[in-house]
């Protein structure tokens, strides 16, 4: 009986992931370029969002008790911030970053034990998203819009997108007051009289 195609066991994959030396950011750029080769569109949308990865212990890099929408509560988890490229041709992830809470970035020994590169400090999720947008623009990634939920709305991210000439749809919390809209509603109600 012929052997089925593929590896006979996990050893080769484990060697690549665990013992091989590779540069994560170079791989990110390679994936982005591959995605653009197949999905590029000037009207594409860059979608930014975070997700949580549930964890039991405390040694995994970035793990802490924090809110994750994955389960809708505060729990022990890691948080990853992601950028997905969405066009009429399809969608795929093109960027990622691990969120490190202050309990991590304020503890140099813990960072060293988890092999976090020197110089990595605390960064907010909106700042991480802005870095991803800047990388996409620097790589000439064609997109017209950025979409993100309320974690990213009403921040310096909005100003950066305006300066970059990119459209955006950023969520805001339900209690957020939009003063420009209130003024506009007042003016339009006077016009209708």
Give residue limits of the domains in the chain. Answer: 21-174
Residue 145 parent element (H or E): strand 145-148
Q: How far apart are CA 122 and CA 125, in angstroms?
A: 10
Could you tell me the sign of the dihedral formed by the alpha carbons of 75, 78, 83, 86, in that order?
A: negative
Backbone phi, psi, residue 108, to 5°: -55, -35
Q: How far apart are CA 116 and CA 54, in angstroms?
A: 20
pLDDT at 186: 54
Low-confidence ranges of the chain (pLDDT < 50): 193
pLDDT at 8: 81
| Pairing mode, strands 167-170 and 145-148 | parallel
Please give the C-alpha separations between residue 180 and each of 67, 126, 157, 183, 184, in angstroms, as whole numbers. 31, 23, 18, 5, 6
What are 57-102's pLDDT values in tens digits?
Answer: 888 999 999 999 889 999 999 999 999 999 999 999 999 999 999 9
Q: How far apart are CA 30 and CA 25, in angstroms?
A: 9
Q: How far apart are CA 7 and CA 158, in angstroms?
A: 47
In the 8-state DSSP scheme, what is residue 184?
Answer: H
Q: How far apart are CA 169 and CA 145, in angstroms?
A: 8
pLDDT at 193: 46
- Whether domain 21-174 has CATH 1.10.287: the reply is no
| Pairing mode, strands 145-148 and 45-54 | parallel
Ordered alpha helix ranges (H), 20-178: 24-39, 102-105, 108-113, 125-138, 156-164
Q: How far apart are CA 56 and CA 80, in angstroms?
A: 17
User: Do 71 and 54 contact (CB within 8 A), yes or no?
Assistant: yes
């Amino acid at each position: 009986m012929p052997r089925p195609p593929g590896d006979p066991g996990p050893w080769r994959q484990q060697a690549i992931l665990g013992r091989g030396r590779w540069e994560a950011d170079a791989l990110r750029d390679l994936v982005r370029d591959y995605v653009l080769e197949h999905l590029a569109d000037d009207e594409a949308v860059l979608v930014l969002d975070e997700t949580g990865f549930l964890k039991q212990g405390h040694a995994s890099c970035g793990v802490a008790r924090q809110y994750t929408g994955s389960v809708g509560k505060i729990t022990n988890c890691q948080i990853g911030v992601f950028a997905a490229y969405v066009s009429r041709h399809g969608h795929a992830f093109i960027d990622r970053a691990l969120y490190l809470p202050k309990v991590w970035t304020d503890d140099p020994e813990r960072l060293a034990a988890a092999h976090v590169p020197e110089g990595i400090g605390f960064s907010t999720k909106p700042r991480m998203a802005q870095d991803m947008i800047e990388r996409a623009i620097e790589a000439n990634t064609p997109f017209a819009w950025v979409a993100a939920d309320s974690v990213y709305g009403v921040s310096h991210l909005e100003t950066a997108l305006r300066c970059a000439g990119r459209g955006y749809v950023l969520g805001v919390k339900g209690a957020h007051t939009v003063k420009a809209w209130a003024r506009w509603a007042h003016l339009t109600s006077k016009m209708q009289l």
